[in-house]
Each structure stands twice: as C-alpha cells, then as structure tokens.
Amino acid sequence: MARTTTAGTSAAPDSGGRTVADLVTAMDRLAPPSLAESWDNVGLLLGRHGDPVSKVLLCIDLMPEVVDEAVAREVDAVVAYHPPIFSGLKSITDATPQNASLLTLIQAGIAVHSPHTAADAATGGVNDWLADGLGDGTSEAIHPAEVLPSSERFKLVTFAPATAIDAIRDAMSAAGAGRIGDYEACSTETDVVGTFRGLEGTAPAVGRAGVFESVHERRLEMVCGAAGLAAAIAALRDAHPYEEPPIEVHPLAGRPDPTIGAGRLVTLDRPATVRTLVDRLRDHLGTDRFSVHEPDRRRKHAVIGLCAGSGAELMPAAFDRGATLFLTGELKHHDVLDAGRRDAAVILAGHTNTERGWLKVLRKKLRQAMPGVEIGISKADRDPLRAV
C-alpha cells in the first residue's frame, strides 16, 4: 500500500525496498509451512507478493478491532497467528463481520499472513516458548515431524554391467539425481547376478535371444527429487546399454526429527509441583487465569507434555511417553476426566494465553530478518475472556 508523507507527519522507516514476498520468505523460515497440520490454512492468505512493506502488525486473532487498528496505523501487512480464512470462501461481502473485515483489508491494501500450527511445530516457535516457562530441562516434540529433503524424495535403482555404471551414474547426476545436502553424484553400488531370457525379436546386449542368461551386474542406487525424477529416468535409459533397462522407483519415508513437530515433551532438570509450575507460568505468560487438576498436590512432576492453544489430541501420546502432567490452553470436561483416570495432572492457562507471549519472540526475529521494517504488536488484540 502506497504511503505519503506530509508536513507534520513522520516518515516511515527505510524498509530497504522490502515487499510482501520478503515477509513471506522470512515467515516461512521461522515457521516452515511444511510443518503445519494437514487441516490448517497457513501462509499468505491475502495480498500481492510484490506490494511494498514498511510496517507490519502482529496479532493472535484478526478481530474487527485489530483490523481498525491496522488501518489507523497504516500498516502494510498483518501477521495473524490464527488464520482469518480457514475454510473455502464462496463470496466476500459485508454480510458477515469476518468477510467485512477482509473487504476492509483488501481496500486498504493490507496483506495477511498466518503461521498457526507451523509456528507451533517450528524450532523456537510457540510450543518452545511455552516450554521455556516451565524451567530448565530438555524438550522434544510429542509427535516429531517427518523431514525429507526435496532432493531425496525417491530412490532410483537400476542394474547394469560394471563397465556401464560410471556412464549411467554421470548421466543421472547431470539430470539431478544423487544430490544429498552439499554433495552430488552420491550413489551406492552392489555386486549382483541378474538373469533373463530375451523373447523372439529381442537384441540383448549380453547373450542371445531365446537363451536363459546369467550375468554379473552392479546394482546402482541414487536418490532423486520429485521435480527431477522424469529427467533422471530418461537419462538412465539413454545411458544404459540394455534394450530394456531395469528401473525401480522407491518413494522414501520422512525421517522423524524430535526438535520439530506437534507439542512438546519436557523433562525438567528438577521436578516440580503443580503449584510451583503455575507460579513460573504466571510470570512467563503474564496471566493469573489458571485451572488445574491435580490428583496429588505433593507430587513433583519430572516429565510434562504441553501444547499451546487446545492440545487434547496430543495429551494421550504425552501420557504414553511418561508425562504425568499436561499443560495446554483449554480442554473439554471429559478430557480432564480422562487425565484423572491416568492419575495425571492438568494445567489449563487459557487458549490465547498459551500463545500470545510468543508474539514478542516473533517481533524480535522479524526485526532481525527485515531490518528497517517497523514491526509492532497489536494493542487491540487481547484475550476474549476475562476474569470477573
């Protein structure tokens, strides 16, 4: 959104020609979209990639009050943790408050990005920030994300005479196969014995048609990305001496990474009671609104499961992995009863209270990633519930 400066007003900071695309790049590094849950809607939800960005507003919920604040502060983009567009829209009119807000943002030229569960799962994201409030210890994901580099989505396998292997590897490498990190031409070779019988009309490179042949070969294996798979197969065919080259394509499973993923399992250096943990969280979250379930008030908890927001789906897995306490924003009544049946404790701190403090972490990281861009936290965005 274009900005003008008149006498008596302060000029916007020099953003160095930053655009919405730069904001998306920065957010994708902090909260990779690949880490988001399959049901979620993350990334750039509104705006043009090429529009300039000099002011960004951060919030948890993009309520009408926050939209008004964004317009009044003349920001170019809003990073809303919760996606304001979640399911498919068939129209955008002023018939509902949500869509009316979207229209206001469109008319003002304000882009909207949402990281949501990608930010929960990322290193240094919402759940890591929440875990920091429990005390010193170690932390890992309850459900580790499965990570697989784009260049290693498949394994290509072929068999050929040893004299042809170098040519086949070189051709496949030139097509993009065999790339692992900063290394190229990566492969594995194994001595094997292949058998075949060419039918009438064939012209085998080894032996004769109609005769059962047994040939000493080399098995060649190379990883390959999805984008280069067709080209690598074509290169394999061109370089292979056989009339019908044997080709196997094996999809590879992701490798679990305990540092990223859904929820966190925290092992404290020094076990603590629910009361002690609530006291720590009160300072960390900046709230006095806690609900607890504790079968034994004297019990000290060493292993704690947690999930920002609403983490009921992760609670059983946390207990199965040894947690005796689960921390989240909210649970249904029967979820709490289920925890009690496991003789486990629960701390509920309010949905947005387990998320809101991370905005300060995000502001610091975005300021580092986008120097010259003004990054602010919404003053209108707040917990929709209050104690009375």
**Spatial CA neighbour of 150 closest among 257, 41, 221, 223:** 223
pLDDT digits (tens, 9 = 90+) for 331-366: 999 999 999 999 999 999 999 999 999 999 999 999
Domain identity same for 114 and 125: no
Q: What distance in Å separates the CA atoms of residue 329 and residue 322, rounded to the nearest whole number? A: 21
Residues 6+ apart with CB under 8 A from 204: 196, 198, 213, 242, 243
Closest CA to 22 of 40, 49, 62, 47: 49
Domain end among 252, 279, 306: 252
Cβ neighbours of 12 (radius 10 Å): 17
Domain with residue 50: its CATH number is 3.40.1390.30
Q: What does pLDDT average to over the chain?
A: 93
Is the same domain home to 244 and 155? yes
Is residue 388 in some structural domain?
no
One-character DSSP codes across 193-211:
EEEEE--TT---SSS-TTS
CATH number at residue 217: 3.30.70.120
Do 178 and 296 contact (CB within 8 A), yes or no? no
Are 285 and 320 part of one and the same domain?
A: yes
- Whether residue 325 has pLDDT greater than 80: yes
The reply to whether 279 and 130 lie within a common domain is yes
H or E, element range at 248 = strand 247-251
Does 345 lie in the same domain as 219? Answer: no
Question: Which is nearest to 155 in space by CA: 219, 225, 218?
Answer: 225
Helix (H, G, I), strand (E, B) or coil at 383: coil
Whole-angstrom distance, CA of residue 257 vs CA of residue 31:
15
CB 79 within 8 A of CB 47: no
Residues 6+ apart with CB under 8 A from 35: 117, 118, 121, 122, 145, 260, 261
Cβ pair 217, 154 in contact under 8 A: no
Instruction: With respect to residue 87, please indicate whether it lies within any of the assigned structural domains.
Output: yes
6 falls within a domain: no
Examine residue 88 and state whether it is found in any structural domain, yes or no: yes
Of 96, 91, 102, 112, whose CA–CA distance to 42 is shortest? 112
Q: 15: pLDDT confidence band, cut at 50, 70 and 90?
A: low
CA angle at 378 for the pair 374 and 379, rounded to the nearest 5°: 125
**Residues 59-85 pLDDT 10s:** 999 999 999 999 999 999 999 999 999
Q: How far apart are the first and last CA of the chain?
A: 41
218 inside domain: yes
Residue 300 lies in a domain: yes
Asked if residues 149 and 178 have their Cβ atoms less than 8 Å apart, the reply is no
Residues 34 and 73 in one domain: yes
7 lies in some domain: no
DSSP structure string for 70-125: HHHTT-SEEEESS-S--SPPS---TTSHHHHHHHHHHHHT-EEEE-HHHHHHSTTS
Looking at 60-69, 85-94, 319-328, 377-386, which range is the least confident one? 85-94
- The CA distance from 23 to 27, in Å, is 6
Residues 6 or more apart from 259 whose CB is under 8 A from it?
A: 123, 140, 141, 144
Q: Which helix (H) or strand (E) holds 16?
A: none
Domain housing 68? 20-118+357-377
Looking at the structure, tell me whether residues 107 and 28 fall in a common domain.
yes
Please give the pLDDT value at position 9. Answer: 36
Report whether pLDDT(227) > 70: yes
Instruction: List the Cα angle 363/36/366 in 5-degree steps.
Output: 15
- Residue that terminates a domain, selected from 218, 252, 286: 252
How far apart are the C-alpha atoms of 47 and 23, rounded to whole Å?
11
Does 70 lie in the same domain as 126?
Answer: no
Boundary of a domain, candidates 252, 283, 304: 252
Q: What is the pLDDT of residues 136-170, one digit of tens each?
A: 999 999 999 999 999 999 999 999 999 999 999 99
Number of compact structural domains in the chain: 3
Angle at 25 between CA 186 and CA 228, to 5 degrees: 30
Q: Does residue 169 share a domain with residue 242?
A: yes
- pLDDT mean over 18-44: 96
Q: What are phi and psi of 379, to 5 degrees?
A: -95, -20
Q: Does residue 196 share a domain with residue 215?
A: yes
Whether residue 163 sits in one domain with residue 87: no
What is the rounded average pLDDT of the residues 16-42? 95
Confidence of residue 14 (pLDDT cuts 50, 70, 90): low
- What is the mean pLDDT of the segment spanning 261-283? 97
Per-residue pLDDT for 10 more than 90?
no
CA angle 318, 287, 296 (to 5 degrees): 45
Q: Which amino acid is at 85?
A: I
Q: Are residues 133 and 195 in the same domain?
A: no
